[in-house]
Amino acid sequence: MNSPLSHFAIKKIFNLSIFGYDVSFTNSSLSMLAGVALVCLLLALSIRKTSILPSRAQAFAELIYKAINDTLINSAGAVSAQFIPLIFTLFMFILVSNVLGLVPYFFTPTSHIIVTFALASVVFVFITFVGFFTHGLKFFSIFLPSGVPIFLAPLMIVIELFTYLGKPISLSLRLVANMVAGHILLDVLAGFIVILPFILKILPLPFVMILTVFEFGIAILQAYIFTILSCVYLNDALHLH
Protein backbone atom coordinates (compact mmCIF):
# COMPACT_ATOMS: atom_id res chain seq x y z
CA MET A 1 0.00 0.00 0.00
CA ASN A 2 1.36 3.41 -0.96
CA SER A 3 1.99 6.05 1.67
CA PRO A 4 -0.88 8.56 2.09
CA LEU A 5 1.68 11.28 1.40
CA SER A 6 2.37 9.86 -2.07
CA HIS A 7 -0.73 11.73 -3.28
CA PHE A 8 1.13 15.02 -2.72
CA ALA A 9 4.34 14.05 -4.54
CA ILE A 10 5.38 16.36 -7.36
CA LYS A 11 6.12 14.34 -10.50
CA LYS A 12 7.70 15.71 -13.65
CA ILE A 13 5.81 15.12 -16.87
CA PHE A 14 8.57 16.54 -19.03
CA ASN A 15 11.78 18.34 -18.14
CA LEU A 16 12.29 21.98 -19.02
CA SER A 17 15.11 24.32 -18.02
CA ILE A 18 15.35 28.06 -18.71
CA PHE A 19 18.63 29.88 -17.95
CA GLY A 20 19.60 27.11 -15.57
CA TYR A 21 16.30 27.17 -13.65
CA ASP A 22 14.17 24.04 -13.49
CA VAL A 23 10.71 24.99 -14.80
CA SER A 24 9.62 21.46 -15.68
CA PHE A 25 5.98 20.73 -16.41
CA THR A 26 4.65 18.67 -13.50
CA ASN A 27 1.45 16.98 -12.37
CA SER A 28 0.73 20.11 -10.34
CA SER A 29 1.13 22.27 -13.45
CA LEU A 30 -1.17 19.95 -15.37
CA SER A 31 -3.87 20.07 -12.68
CA MET A 32 -3.76 23.85 -12.48
CA LEU A 33 -3.89 24.15 -16.26
CA ALA A 34 -6.79 21.69 -16.37
CA GLY A 35 -8.57 23.69 -13.66
CA VAL A 36 -8.20 26.97 -15.55
CA ALA A 37 -9.37 25.34 -18.78
CA LEU A 38 -12.35 23.77 -17.02
CA VAL A 39 -13.44 27.08 -15.46
CA CYS A 40 -13.11 28.90 -18.79
CA LEU A 41 -15.05 26.16 -20.57
CA LEU A 42 -17.88 26.04 -18.04
CA LEU A 43 -18.28 29.82 -17.94
CA ALA A 44 -18.06 30.10 -21.73
CA LEU A 45 -20.77 27.47 -22.17
CA SER A 46 -22.97 29.09 -19.52
CA ILE A 47 -23.00 32.48 -21.28
CA ARG A 48 -22.97 31.16 -24.84
CA LYS A 49 -26.70 31.71 -25.23
CA THR A 50 -27.81 34.21 -22.60
CA SER A 51 -31.50 35.00 -22.21
CA ILE A 52 -33.91 36.60 -19.76
CA LEU A 53 -35.09 33.11 -18.88
CA PRO A 54 -31.69 31.54 -18.22
CA SER A 55 -30.76 27.96 -18.86
CA ARG A 56 -29.60 25.82 -15.96
CA ALA A 57 -25.95 26.46 -16.82
CA GLN A 58 -26.49 30.22 -17.06
CA ALA A 59 -28.47 30.28 -13.82
CA PHE A 60 -25.75 28.31 -12.03
CA ALA A 61 -22.99 30.66 -13.27
CA GLU A 62 -25.04 33.73 -12.33
CA LEU A 63 -25.72 32.25 -8.89
CA ILE A 64 -22.00 31.79 -8.17
CA TYR A 65 -21.12 35.23 -9.53
CA LYS A 66 -23.86 36.92 -7.49
CA ALA A 67 -22.81 35.07 -4.32
CA ILE A 68 -19.19 36.23 -4.66
CA ASN A 69 -20.24 39.75 -5.68
CA ASP A 70 -22.56 40.04 -2.67
CA THR A 71 -19.83 38.69 -0.38
CA LEU A 72 -17.39 41.31 -1.65
CA ILE A 73 -19.81 44.23 -1.34
CA ASN A 74 -21.08 43.15 2.10
CA SER A 75 -17.51 42.74 3.35
CA ALA A 76 -15.80 45.77 1.79
CA GLY A 77 -18.59 48.13 0.72
CA ALA A 78 -19.96 49.23 -2.64
CA VAL A 79 -16.66 50.85 -3.64
CA SER A 80 -15.07 47.39 -3.76
CA ALA A 81 -17.34 46.24 -6.62
CA GLN A 82 -14.63 47.26 -9.09
CA PHE A 83 -12.45 44.43 -7.77
CA ILE A 84 -14.93 41.62 -8.47
CA PRO A 85 -12.88 40.22 -11.42
CA LEU A 86 -9.95 39.42 -9.12
CA ILE A 87 -12.07 38.04 -6.26
CA PHE A 88 -14.26 35.92 -8.56
CA THR A 89 -11.22 34.54 -10.41
CA LEU A 90 -9.54 33.74 -7.10
CA PHE A 91 -12.59 31.87 -5.82
CA MET A 92 -13.12 29.86 -9.00
CA PHE A 93 -9.46 28.84 -9.29
CA ILE A 94 -9.24 27.68 -5.67
CA LEU A 95 -12.63 25.93 -5.85
CA VAL A 96 -11.78 23.94 -8.97
CA SER A 97 -8.26 23.15 -7.70
CA ASN A 98 -9.72 21.82 -4.45
CA VAL A 99 -12.42 19.75 -6.12
CA LEU A 100 -10.17 18.32 -8.85
CA GLY A 101 -8.02 16.82 -6.12
CA LEU A 102 -10.91 14.52 -5.22
CA VAL A 103 -10.94 13.04 -8.72
CA PRO A 104 -8.84 9.85 -8.95
CA TYR A 105 -5.40 10.35 -10.51
CA PHE A 106 -5.70 14.15 -10.31
CA PHE A 107 -3.33 16.25 -8.24
CA THR A 108 -4.44 18.84 -5.65
CA PRO A 109 -2.44 22.04 -6.32
CA THR A 110 -3.75 23.70 -3.16
CA SER A 111 -2.17 20.95 -1.05
CA HIS A 112 1.23 22.59 -1.59
CA ILE A 113 2.23 25.66 0.38
CA ILE A 114 4.03 27.23 -2.59
CA VAL A 115 0.73 27.45 -4.50
CA THR A 116 -1.40 28.72 -1.63
CA PHE A 117 1.30 31.17 -0.53
CA ALA A 118 1.56 32.50 -4.10
CA LEU A 119 -2.21 33.10 -4.14
CA ALA A 120 -2.10 34.72 -0.69
CA SER A 121 0.84 36.89 -1.77
CA VAL A 122 -1.13 38.15 -4.77
CA VAL A 123 -3.93 39.18 -2.39
CA PHE A 124 -1.45 40.76 0.05
CA VAL A 125 0.38 42.80 -2.61
CA PHE A 126 -2.91 43.83 -4.19
CA ILE A 127 -4.54 45.09 -0.98
CA THR A 128 -1.34 46.94 -0.06
CA PHE A 129 -1.33 48.63 -3.47
CA VAL A 130 -5.02 49.51 -3.11
CA GLY A 131 -4.40 50.93 0.36
CA PHE A 132 -1.57 53.22 -0.81
CA PHE A 133 -3.45 54.20 -3.97
CA THR A 134 -6.56 55.10 -1.96
CA HIS A 135 -5.04 56.79 1.09
CA GLY A 136 -1.43 57.62 0.25
CA LEU A 137 0.87 57.84 3.26
CA LYS A 138 -2.20 57.88 5.51
CA PHE A 139 -2.33 54.14 4.88
CA PHE A 140 0.38 53.74 7.53
CA SER A 141 -2.25 54.68 10.13
CA ILE A 142 -3.49 51.09 9.81
CA PHE A 143 -0.61 50.15 12.11
CA LEU A 144 -1.79 52.50 14.87
CA PRO A 145 -5.51 52.27 15.71
CA SER A 146 -7.12 55.52 16.81
CA GLY A 147 -7.46 56.11 20.55
CA VAL A 148 -4.32 54.19 21.52
CA PRO A 149 -2.38 55.95 24.34
CA ILE A 150 0.90 57.40 23.14
CA PHE A 151 2.97 55.25 25.52
CA LEU A 152 1.47 52.11 23.93
CA ALA A 153 2.01 53.34 20.37
CA PRO A 154 5.39 51.60 19.76
CA LEU A 155 4.07 48.27 21.02
CA MET A 156 0.84 48.54 18.99
CA ILE A 157 2.75 49.44 15.83
CA VAL A 158 4.91 46.32 16.18
CA ILE A 159 1.89 44.11 16.90
CA GLU A 160 -0.14 45.53 13.99
CA LEU A 161 2.84 45.26 11.64
CA PHE A 162 3.37 41.57 12.43
CA THR A 163 -0.38 40.98 12.15
CA TYR A 164 -0.42 42.63 8.73
CA LEU A 165 2.62 40.73 7.48
CA GLY A 166 1.14 37.49 8.82
CA LYS A 167 -1.97 37.72 6.63
CA PRO A 168 -0.55 35.85 3.62
CA ILE A 169 0.93 33.20 5.93
CA SER A 170 -2.36 32.55 7.74
CA LEU A 171 -4.29 32.53 4.46
CA SER A 172 -1.96 30.02 2.83
CA LEU A 173 -1.53 27.72 5.84
CA ARG A 174 -5.27 27.49 6.52
CA LEU A 175 -6.02 26.33 2.99
CA VAL A 176 -3.13 23.90 2.61
CA ALA A 177 -3.68 22.33 6.05
CA ASN A 178 -7.33 21.56 5.32
CA MET A 179 -6.57 20.10 1.90
CA VAL A 180 -3.72 17.91 3.17
CA ALA A 181 -5.58 16.65 6.26
CA GLY A 182 -8.71 15.66 4.35
CA HIS A 183 -6.86 13.84 1.59
CA ILE A 184 -4.65 11.93 4.03
CA LEU A 185 -7.73 10.72 5.92
CA LEU A 186 -9.36 9.62 2.66
CA ASP A 187 -6.21 7.80 1.56
CA VAL A 188 -5.88 6.01 4.90
CA LEU A 189 -9.50 4.78 4.85
CA ALA A 190 -9.22 3.79 1.18
CA GLY A 191 -6.05 1.88 2.06
CA PHE A 192 -8.00 -0.27 4.50
CA ILE A 193 -10.22 -1.39 1.63
CA VAL A 194 -7.16 -2.65 -0.22
CA ILE A 195 -5.64 -4.66 2.65
CA LEU A 196 -8.86 -6.13 4.09
CA PRO A 197 -10.06 -9.59 3.03
CA PHE A 198 -12.48 -9.56 0.10
CA ILE A 199 -15.55 -10.30 2.21
CA LEU A 200 -14.77 -7.36 4.54
CA LYS A 201 -13.97 -4.76 1.87
CA ILE A 202 -17.58 -3.55 1.90
CA LEU A 203 -17.38 -2.41 5.53
CA PRO A 204 -15.31 0.80 5.12
CA LEU A 205 -17.13 1.84 1.93
CA PRO A 206 -19.96 3.81 3.63
CA PHE A 207 -17.40 5.73 5.68
CA VAL A 208 -15.31 6.50 2.59
CA MET A 209 -18.40 7.69 0.70
CA ILE A 210 -19.54 9.90 3.59
CA LEU A 211 -16.04 11.30 4.02
CA THR A 212 -15.78 12.00 0.28
CA VAL A 213 -19.00 14.03 0.39
CA PHE A 214 -17.73 15.80 3.50
CA GLU A 215 -14.39 16.53 1.83
CA PHE A 216 -16.24 17.92 -1.19
CA GLY A 217 -18.04 20.32 1.15
CA ILE A 218 -14.72 21.25 2.77
CA ALA A 219 -13.27 22.00 -0.67
CA ILE A 220 -16.09 24.46 -1.37
CA LEU A 221 -15.98 25.93 2.13
CA GLN A 222 -12.22 26.53 2.10
CA ALA A 223 -12.42 28.29 -1.26
CA TYR A 224 -15.14 30.53 0.17
CA ILE A 225 -13.21 31.18 3.41
CA PHE A 226 -10.09 32.18 1.45
CA THR A 227 -12.25 34.51 -0.64
CA ILE A 228 -14.15 36.13 2.23
CA LEU A 229 -10.94 36.71 4.20
CA SER A 230 -9.47 38.38 1.12
CA CYS A 231 -12.55 40.61 1.04
CA VAL A 232 -12.13 41.46 4.72
CA TYR A 233 -8.47 42.37 4.18
CA LEU A 234 -9.51 44.50 1.21
CA ASN A 235 -12.04 46.27 3.44
CA ASP A 236 -9.25 47.11 5.91
CA ALA A 237 -7.19 48.61 3.09
CA LEU A 238 -10.09 50.65 1.71
CA HIS A 239 -11.51 51.95 4.98
CA LEU A 240 -8.56 51.68 7.41
CA HIS A 241 -9.42 51.50 11.12
45-99 pLDDT, tens digit each = 888 877 777 778 888 888 999 999 999 999 988 898 999 999 999 999 999 999 9
Please state the rounded mean pLDDT for residues 8-33.
84
Is residue 116 in some structural domain?
yes
State which residues form the domain around 195. 27-239
Is residue 56 in some structural domain?
yes
Is residue 7 in some structural domain?
no
pLDDT number for residue 71: 93
Q: Please name the helix (run of DSSP H) or strand (run of DSSP E) that holds residue 32, with its range, or none.
A: helix 27-46
Q: Hey, which residues does 14 pair with through a beta bridge?
A: 25
Q: How confident is the model over 1-13, as pLDDT tens digits?
A: 466 666 778 888 8
pLDDT number for residue 69: 94
Is residue 211 in some structural domain?
yes
Domain count, the chain: 1
Is residue 94 in some structural domain?
yes
Is residue 1 in some structural domain?
no
Nearest to 117 by CA among 125, 128, 106: 125
Question: Which of 89-98, 102-111, 183-192, 212-221 is the least confident region?
Answer: 183-192
Question: Which of 1-15, 172-186, 208-222 is the least confident region?
Answer: 1-15
Is residue 141 in some structural domain?
yes
> Considering the entire predicted model, what is its pTM?
0.87
Report which of residues 227 and 190 the model is more confident about: 227
Q: How far apart are CA 65 and CA 95, in angstroms?
A: 13
